[in-house]
């Protein structure tokens, strides 16, 4: 994964990360239990989740799920539909006039592919969604990806590499990248 960084598990830093995740998941649970028309309380909880006031033009429809909160930033006139998941430890930057469909997952974190390292690190890399992008329902954007200005990501697509500006991408596929060594 491009720009990958690693957080070693079982350290003070990873414990602080885990504590933040617990807090944000509690806040998201409260957000998702609010009456739909309680916009003021929704904005307050979103500001707590993201660690700062959110833009007036940002619209996030619940339910919404986030695991860290401090890694996300939003441009003007961003719309995020229901049921989205933001795993933002690696950083999510969303430009202006971005539309995100229902059940979209933006995941900036994971684990090493090597089984011997898998439990020892959390890997993470930023996602950048440039201006005027539309991400269709149930698409997944993986760590380290940039979606170029004006592009469209079709419903259900799994995006594991950068998308050039003004592109339309669709589909999913399974491509074997490498074979792992057997574990003894």
Instruction: Give the residue numbers marked as catalytic.
Output: 111
* Range list of H helices, the chain: 12-33, 39-50
| Strand partners of residue 105 | 85, 140
Token pair listed for 94: 């969303």
What is the spatial distance between Cα 71 and Cα 119, in angstroms, rounded to a whole number? 23
What is the spatial distance between Cα 43 and Cα 87, in angstroms, rounded to a whole number? 19
Omega before 63 within 30 of 0, i.e. cis: yes
Tell me the DSSP string of 152-184: EE-TT-EE-S-B-TT-EE----------PPPP-
What is the spatial distance between Cα 149 and Cα 133, in angstroms, rounded to a whole number? 6
């Amino acid at each position: 994964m491009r720009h990958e960084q690693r957080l070693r598990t079982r350290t003070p830093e990873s414990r602080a990360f885990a504590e933040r995740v617990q807090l944000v998941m509690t806040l998201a649970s409260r957000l998702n239990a609010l009456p739909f028309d309680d916009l003021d309380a929704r904005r307050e909880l979103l500001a707590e989740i993201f660690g700062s006031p959110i833009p007036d033009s940002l619209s996030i429809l619940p339910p919404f799920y986030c695991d860290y909160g401090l890694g996300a930033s939003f441009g003007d006139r961003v719309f995020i539909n229901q049921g989205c998941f933001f795993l933002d430890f690696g950083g999510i930057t969303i430009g202006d006039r971005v539309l995100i469909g229902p059940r979209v997952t933006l995941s900036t974190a994971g684990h090493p592919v090597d089984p011997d390292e898998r439990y020892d690190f959390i890997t993470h890399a930023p996602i950048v969604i440039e201006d005027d992008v539309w991400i269709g329902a149930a698409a997944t954007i993986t760590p380290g990806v940039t979606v170029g200005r004006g592009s469209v990501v079709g419903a259900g697509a799994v995006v594991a590499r950068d998308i050039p500006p003004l592109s339309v991408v669709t589909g999913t596929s399974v491509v074997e990248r490498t074979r792992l060594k057997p574990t003894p």
